[in-house]
Structures are given as C-alpha cells and as structure tokens.
C-alpha cells in the first residue's frame, strides 16, 4: 500500500454542464491543471470512479426524489431551484459523484490507500433526503457514510465539513443517530440559513451534531483555534472508526460567494490536523470529498496545499 494520498478524478464529471454558473466544469479543470503543474499526479494512485447503485442513493434520498432527477434529465434538463441545474446527463454524473465517495471509503477500508481525495461534481452536502439545492443533486458524503456504517458494520463515523456554507443535507441525514458525528464550520449568516449552534441533534443523535457558526471575516487563526480547542477534543472523545471531510474551499479570502479570510496555508494546516487525527483515531482511514470553491486560482492553490499537507503533515504548522 502506498502512503501517498490516492485521488479519484474523471473527465466524466465535466459532462455536468451548468452554463453560466459558479459551479462549472472549469472548477475541476483548474484543479487538474494545478495538480499537474505541481507535479502531484505522479507517484500516487489516481483512479476513475464507478457509479453508486440506486440502492445506496435511496438509502439517503427518497426514491421519488431520485426518480424525479432522473426524469428531469431524460426530458432535457431543468432547474431544481434558482441555484441548482440538471442537464441531460446530470443524473448519471451525479451517480458517479456519489459512487466516487463510496469507492473512496472502500479503498481506505480495504487498505488500498490510507487516504483518498475524491474530486467530484456536482457537490453534495446541501442535498437533503427529499430535495436537491445549493448546486447539489445527491449527498455524496452522506451516501458514503451510510455505506461505511452498513457495509463495514462501523459504529462511529465522523464527518467534518469545512465548506463555508453549512452542510444542511448532511446534518439532516444523520440528525437522529449517534453513529455519525457531524461537525460543521461555516459563515453565519449565510446560505442556506441552517447551522445554528443550538442545532445539536435529536433523539439518539442529541449531542452528535456540532455546529460552529463563524462571523464574516474569520480567517486562519480562528479556524485553527477551533480545530485545536473544540474539534480535536470532541473527536478524541468520540473515537471515530473513519473520518470523512466535506472539503469545500469557498472560505478562501478570494472566493466570490462568501466573505471569509482563509488562506491556502490555512487549508493546509487544517488538512494536516485532519490527517493526524485520522492516524491517531482511525488507523489512518481518511476520505475527503470536494464540495465548494468558486475562485478558480484559489481553489486550485488550496487543493494543492491540502494535498501537500495530507502527504507530509509534519511539514505544516
């Protein structure tokens, strides 16, 4: 087994055409170019994804919603809401995005790689059980977490969401269970309007949702303080068997859709901590799934910095 972080990449994700839209194929083109220029596509596994089964997708999403997305695509596409577009091939591409996240879980559980970063689109963390929204069709990371719990009989999976927007769909998927610890750092107030600190779970899930809303203008220092003082103790207490990350890069100071001040170095420092936690708690098992990030240069630079930190965490402060 290599110690390098494996990647899941595919030109098939470019087929989800969104037109004049922030969430466009150019995002993945910029990431691939950035990785190539940094020499980071050599000497590591780079895999093509496989689509998720309908059974897995409907474990998180209502069957009637999944069927509606399929029909809309077959009819030539359309809009789920003012932000979320479906093109004629969006349905199979969305299955591929979910499948990539599942495949990443399978790879780390089988020991094929200690860590996997799945570069997917459409993103997923806003997709709720009965509706897509916020550029998202199916909730890739939630589907992957469900798969981990049931295929491998895990009891504790942690999901850390550092996208600048709250992962309302992921929260909704696991709000009633203690088998998933969901942690989200996000700008507040901001779309989608969920993620208050008072949202902590329900029933058996009470206390297993940790929302950390942040004021506009928050930068590296506050993020890293929360990682060290709040998130790390919570993870040490929970002791997850697998760590998943919704890796969005729209908290970057150059991103047009938010107003935060995180730098590439900040994302690298967060990634280094996540790897150390995985090494300590989960036998290294770590999966990252791409979410947002809409300034192309900032997105590519932040992904490169993240991957460097995942490969060599001790080089990052």
Residue 63 in this model has a pLDDT that exceeds 80? yes
What's the confidence (pLDDT) of residue 316?
Answer: 73
Asked if residue 317 has pLDDT above 70, the reply is no
Give me the percent of the chain exceeding a pLDDT of 90: 97
- Element at 184 (helix H, strand E): strand 180-187
Confidence of residue 314 (pLDDT cuts 50, 70, 90): confident
Answer whether residue 1 is part of any domain. Answer: no
Q: Which domain holds residue 235?
A: 6-315
Q: Is residue 108 within 8 Å of 288, Cβ to Cβ?
A: no
Give pLDDT, residue 315.
Answer: 76
Mean pLDDT along residues 181-188 = 98
The chain-wide mean pLDDT, for the chain, equals: 97
Q: Is the distance from CB of 26 to CB of 296 less than 8 angstroms?
A: yes
* Residue 92 domain flag: yes
Encode 157-187: b = buried (16+ Cβ within 10 Å), e = exposed.
Answer: bbbbbbbbbbbbbbbbbbbbbbbbbbbbbbb
Band of pLDDT at residue 2, cut at 50, 70 and 90? low
- When divided into structural domains, the chain yields a total of 1
CATH code at position 279: 3.40.800.20
* Residues carrying an active site annotation: 126
Single pTM value for the model: 0.98
Q: pLDDT for 97-113, tens place per residue?
A: 999 999 999 999 999 99
Element (H, E) at 214: strand 209-214
- Going by pLDDT thresholds of 50, 70 and 90, the confidence category of residue 1 is low
Does residue 189 surpass a pLDDT of 80?
yes
Q: What is the pLDDT of residues 17-50, one digit of tens each?
A: 999 999 999 999 999 999 999 999 998 999 999 9
Mean local confidence (pLDDT), 163-172:
98
Nearest to 184 by CA among 292, 58, 315, 312: 292
In a domain, 299, yes or no: yes
The Cα–Cα gap between 24 and 19 comes to 7
Residue 225 lies in a domain: yes
Q: What is the mean pLDDT of residues 153-157?
A: 98
pLDDT-based confidence at residue 130 (cuts at 50, 70, 90): very high
């Amino acid at each position: 087994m290599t110690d390098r972080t494996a990647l899941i990449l595919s030109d098939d994700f470019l087929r989800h055409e969104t037109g004049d839209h922030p969430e466009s194929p150019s995002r993945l083109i910029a990431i691939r170019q950035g990785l190539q220029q940094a020499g980071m596509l050599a000497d590591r596994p780079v895999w093509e994804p496989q689509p998720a089964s309908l059974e897995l997708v409907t474990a998180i999403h209502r069957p009637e919603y999944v069927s509606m997305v399929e029909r809309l695509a077959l009819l030539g596409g359309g809009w789920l809401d003012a932000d979320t577009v479906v093109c004629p091939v969006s349905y199979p591409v969305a299955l591929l995005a979910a499948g990539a996240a599942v495949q990443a879980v399978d790879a780390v559980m089988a020991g094929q790689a200690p860590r996997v970063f799945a570069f997917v689109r459409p993103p997923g963390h806003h997709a709720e059980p009965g509706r897509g929204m916020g550029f998202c069709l199916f909730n890739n990371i939630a589907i992957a977490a469900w798969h981990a719990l049931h295929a491998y009989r895990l009891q504790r999976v942690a999901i850390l969401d550092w996208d600048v927007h709250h992962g309302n769909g992921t929260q909704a998927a696991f709000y009633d269970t203690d088998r998933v610890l969901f942690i989200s750092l996000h700008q507040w107030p901001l779309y989608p309007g969920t993620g208050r600190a008072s949202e902590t779970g329900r029933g058996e899930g009470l206390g297993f949702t940790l929302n950390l809303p942040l004021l506009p203008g928050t930068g590296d220092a506050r993020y890293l303080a929360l990682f060290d003082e709040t998130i790390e103790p919570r993870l040490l207490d929970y002791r997850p068997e697998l760590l998943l990350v919704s890796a969005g890069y729209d908290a970057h100071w150059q991103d047009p859709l938010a107003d935060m001040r995180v730098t590439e170095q900040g994302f690298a420092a967060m990634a280094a901590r996540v790897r150390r936690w995985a090494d300590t708690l989960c036998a290294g098992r770590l999966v990252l799934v791409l979410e947002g990030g809409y300034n192309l240069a900032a997105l590519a630079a932040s992904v490169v910095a993240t991957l460097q930190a995942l490969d060599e965490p001790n080089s990052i402060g």
